[in-house]
Amino acid sequence: MSGHALTRRSFLVGSAGVAAVAAGAGLVSLSVRGEADADAETDKRTEVVHSLCNSCSSKCGYYAYVVDGELTKLIGDEAHPNAQGKLCARGYGYSQIAYSPDRLTDPMKKNENGEFEVIGWDQALSEIGQKVNDIIAQYGPEALAMVQDPRPSGKYYTKRFMNALGSPNVYTHGAACNLSKESGFTQAIGAANFESDVANSKMTMFIGRSYADAIRPSSVAALQQAHENGAHIVLVDPRLNNSIAFADEWVPINPGTDLALILAMSNVLINRDLYDAEYVAANSVGFDEWASAIAGYTPEWAEGITGIPAADIERLALEFAEAAPAASIEPSWRGAFGCSYANSGETARALCLFNTLLGCWNQPGGALFLPSVKAGDLDPAKFPEVPKVEAKMWGAEEYPLALSSMGTNLYVAEMAKEGKVKGLFFYNSNMAAGYSNPAQLAEDFANLDLMVVVDVQMSETAMLADYVLPECSYLERRELPEFVGGRVPVVSLRDQVLEVIHPNTRPADVIFTQLAEACGVGQYFPFTVDELADAQLRSVGTSLDELRQVGTISFPEKAYAYGKVPEWKTPTGKIQFTSEACEAAGLSACPVWVEPQVMPNETVGEFRLIGGKQAIHTHTQTANCEPLMDITKSYGLDRIWINAEVAERLGIADGDEVILSNTMAEGPIKVKVTERINPTAIYMPSHYGCKSPDQHTAYGVGLNFMDFVPFHMEPAYGSAMTQETLVSVQKVGE
Ligand SMILES: Nc1nc2c(c(=O)[nH]1)N[C@H]1C(S)=C(S)[C@@H](COP(=O)(O)OP(=O)(O)OC[C@H]3O[C@@H](n4cnc5c(=O)[nH]c(N)nc54)[C@H](O)[C@@H]3O)O[C@H]1N2
Ligand SMILES: Nc1nc2c(c(=O)[nH]1)N[C@H]1C(S)=C(S)[C@@H](COP(=O)(O)OP(=O)(O)OC[C@H]3O[C@@H](n4cnc5c(=O)[nH]c(N)nc54)[C@H](O)[C@@H]3O)O[C@H]1N2
Ligand code: SF4
Ligand SMILES: [Mo]
């Protein structure tokens, strides 16, 4: 156990460990949190506070060093399962948001000329409260909705606020991220996700997932370990991503065709009797139906669709059979089938079924279901229960496979257009830049009677709002405890690192409590965030004070053990090769080949536009961060990628400027010419094209991927289908 790995029982020892590590690193000596020490030579006061990064959903834990009130240093928390002692560049760079000159500092209201005016909190709250009540009186609480990107306090308070008003409409970012993947997995295995045991595997295949670009530090460490252990690591990606540093093979698949690859590999395993028949018989339903449905999906068939030679598809399947059960297809996150295509949900289902053929669930080196801990029941006298909202969320009927924990907020935009949703709140979400067809979204949102955005900077979504409410940055607030699953599950704290910098900013818990009061439902919020945090922590045997001392507390008694047969939480209690819900939603009962909605026609110069993360940026939210944008500018990272042979044919050289266009949008952009991309695709990094002039660093750099994506939703699953789009390029001056 590392010096930072603290358990409840060992926490006193652990606290000393923190001090030892810090002292060893040449810093001032430290006692436990809160007891600041003075540096004798400089007379500066140093405090060390545990917090969680807010630059992406991994929310890595770290220790923040604050010298005389200024943030000076971050050190990754070794006890945090996602950080394992390391942070990525974004974790460091994004911390500067606290000091950004572009921060929102006061509540604002849009006037009749469409300009924002600073107003006081009292006015903002009472006007929003009045409008919410007018909407409820006229249209009912279903006309209200919330879009939020889950944050420790935010996910609790936003849902409680909406439910208290009587609305079930609480949405995450899923429709533009991993909604199809998690919904498809749930149909097949009754769980929204799993984790491949990459480090201990003999073979792992990544389908559109790059640990080295779309970083989580613990994942990068696992991949490096796998590489050192000699695992066979295969990257299926139209683009040679940076994970190749720790991988053996690149399979440059035609984008949108991963389902065909999985079906054909499954076909090989079944035809050659190389699958775990005993495991399948004991744990699943519908296998025979699927086996006959995919009998025609031979490697030769798949070659014509995927562009991968049949011999390679067969070889990969045989290598899997050889390596099983210490092998799996990794679950991915977003890139290939989180929300990209008309076949994304079905690709997710097929992936789980392929892993089932390997018999790899909960096997060393296979695919694991890791434990997590959650808060127990709280005293209802102090934390009154909000009455259950019976109504279904918008989109639940039209997209029945979409997990209700995420929902499809694109459908909410449709409902705004149709006048059924009248009041829309956004928390930590830039939907108007990060979802398909931002221009249409702006038109849809213009129909709202009330649009409220809670943000830290003037996002594109905030620009459209009636009211903008400024949150203090994540370094200036303490939040509810965050429970994190893993080999050893933990609970970790985002504590307040810095004093509030702009006095008129407030944290989410205060904003939503005060909004609730202003809307007449304050009776459901008679507690402070500290009281709630403490109650949640006591329900799992610790306390806020204890967690504040150490930052992360683990639950070793809940640690993962290999070999357990999972409880399949599907309607049949088994792994479902066939799903009644899928059939009822108009899909095939078992996953079969589904064509992408559009396919590029090379002869007329069409390419599929694909996206992907860069290691130094997150979505739309870090482009305004100067230290990170400097890296973009130094390396020309906003360029699009074009295959070298294609470029030669089109007379385009590396560094040339082209016009990228389709029926939706067009714009100038420089080109990186490379052999690292499939010739049918053009890659555009997904972090640029900011249209908010108040973001002085990000504004106008590069193009926004989403401008080129039509507004449409994946049948049954409800995702944005962000890569069902074609583009062409023309050299500037031709
Ligand atoms: N163009 C583009 N679109 C994307 C993606 C992309 O990479 N590029 N990625 C997709 C993926 S994978 C996902 S998960 C979704 C994510 O979708 P979003 O959650 O909408 O992510 P961001 O685009 O980063 O926008 C986050 C917003 O929260 C604000 N914010 C940051 N910190 C705080 C805070 O402390 N408090 C509050 N209240 N607000 C804060 C930021 O200023 C920003 O406006 O986007 C998807 N869409
Ligand atoms: N640096 C960074 N890291 C992040 C984030 C971030 O914004 N920036 N966001 C976090 C979040 S919320 C998410 S969802 C994850 C996303 O994690 P990933 O899903 O790994 O991220 P992406 O870069 O979107 O996609 C991975 C790869 O998919 C490839 N790809 C595109 N289309 C296809 C296809 O049709 N088939 C196949 N096989 N591959 C395809 C892309 O070329 C890319 O290399 O990253 C997380 N980590
Ligand atoms: S992966 Fe990087 S950006 Fe994401 S939470 Fe961890 S340190 Fe922050
Ligand atoms: Mo995401």
pLDDT digits (tens, 9 = 90+) for 325-337: 999 999 999 999 9
Q: Note the pLDDT of residue 602.
A: 87
Q: Note the pLDDT of residue 2.
A: 34
Q: Note the pLDDT of residue 35.
A: 47
Handedness of CA 36, 39, 45, 47 (dihedral sign): negative
| Across 528-553, average pLDDT | 98
Which atom in ligand 1 lies closest to the alpha carbon of residue 433? 1
DSSP three-state, residue 254? coil
Q: Note the pLDDT of residue 32.
A: 36
Distance 597 CA to ligand 2 centre (A): 21
514 token code pair: 């005060």
Confidence of residue 39 (pLDDT cuts 50, 70, 90): low
| Across 517-542, average pLDDT | 98
Contact 2, 80 (CB under 8 A): no
pLDDT digits (tens, 9 = 90+) for 227-263: 999 999 999 999 999 999 999 999 999 999 999 999 9
Say if residue 20's pLDDT is above 90. Answer: no
Say if residue 18's pLDDT is above 50. Answer: no
Say if residue 666's pLDDT is above 80. Answer: yes
Q: Which residue has the CA at smallest separation from atom 8 of ligand 3?
A: 91
Distance 487 CA to ligand 3 centre (A): 19
Pocket test for ligand 2, best of 54, 87, 261, 613 (most atoms within 8 A of CB): 613
| Across 197-201, average pLDDT | 98
273 token code pair: 């009797």
- Between residues 587 and 36, which one has the greater pLDDT? 587
Burial grade of 10 (CB within 10 A; 0-12, 13-18, 19 or more): middle
Which atom in ligand 2 lies closest to the alpha carbon of residue 335? 25
Burial grade of 667 (CB within 10 A; 0-12, 13-18, 19 or more): middle
pLDDT digits (tens, 9 = 90+) for 47-102: 999 999 999 999 999 999 999 999 999 999 999 999 999 999 999 999 999 999 99
Confidence of residue 111 (pLDDT cuts 50, 70, 90): very high
704 token code pair: 């926004």
Sorted by where each starts, the structural domains of the chain and their CATH numbers stand as 8-99 (2.20.25.90), 108-175+385-557 (3.40.50.740), 195-368 (3.40.228.10), 602-731 (2.40.40.20)
Q: Note the pLDDT of residue 44.
A: 85
pLDDT digits (tens, 9 = 90+) for 292-313: 999 999 999 999 999 999 999 9
Say if residue 7's pLDDT is above 80. Answer: no
| Across 22-42, average pLDDT | 43
Cβ(239) to ligand 2 under 6 A?
yes
Q: Which residue has the CA at smallest separation from atom 4 of ligand 1?
A: 434
| Across 532-540, average pLDDT | 98
Q: Note the pLDDT of residue 719.
A: 98
By DSSP bridging, strand 640-643 and strand 666-674 are parallel
- Least distant ligand from the CA of 149: 1
Average pLDDT of every residue of the chain: 94
Say if residue 38's pLDDT is above 80. Answer: no
Distance CA 341, CA 725 (A): 9
Q: Note the pLDDT of residue 43.
A: 75
Say if residue 8's pLDDT is above 60. Answer: no
DSSP 732: T
Pocket test for ligand 3, best of 52, 90, 223 (most atoms within 8 A of CB): 90
Q: Note the pLDDT of residue 265.
A: 99
- Outline where DSSP puts E strands in 237-279: 249-251
Q: Which residues line ligand 3 (CB under 6 A)?
A: 53, 55-56, 58-60, 87-88, 90-91, 215-217, 618
Q: Which residue has the CA at smallest separation from atom 6 of ligand 2?
A: 618
Distance CA 120, CA 291 (A): 65
Say if residue 592's pLDDT is above 80. Answer: yes
Say if residue 33's pLDDT is above 60. Answer: no
Q: What is the torsion angle, in degrees rounded to the nearest 10, for the CA atoms of residue 15, residue 21, residue 27 and residue 30?
A: 10
The DSSP annotation for 481-520 comes to -EEE-SSS-EEE-----S--SSTT-B-HHHHHHHHHHHTT
pLDDT digits (tens, 9 = 90+) for 137-173: 999 999 999 999 999 999 999 999 999 999 999 999 9
Say if residue 37's pLDDT is above 50. Answer: yes
Confidence of residue 497 (pLDDT cuts 50, 70, 90): very high
Confidence of residue 25 (pLDDT cuts 50, 70, 90): very low
pLDDT digits (tens, 9 = 90+) for 441-453: 999 999 999 999 9
Contacts 24+ apart (CB under 8 A), 127-132: 127/467, 128/450, 128/452, 128/467, 128/515, 128/518, 128/519, 129/515, 129/517, 129/518, 129/519, 129/520, 131/423, 131/449, 131/450, 132/165, 132/423, 132/450, 132/518, 132/519
Cβ(210) to ligand 2 under 6 A?
yes
The residue type at 79: A
Q: Which residue has the CA at smallest separation from atom 28 of ligand 1?
A: 428
| Across 461-470, average pLDDT | 98
Distance CA 482, CA 52 (A): 9
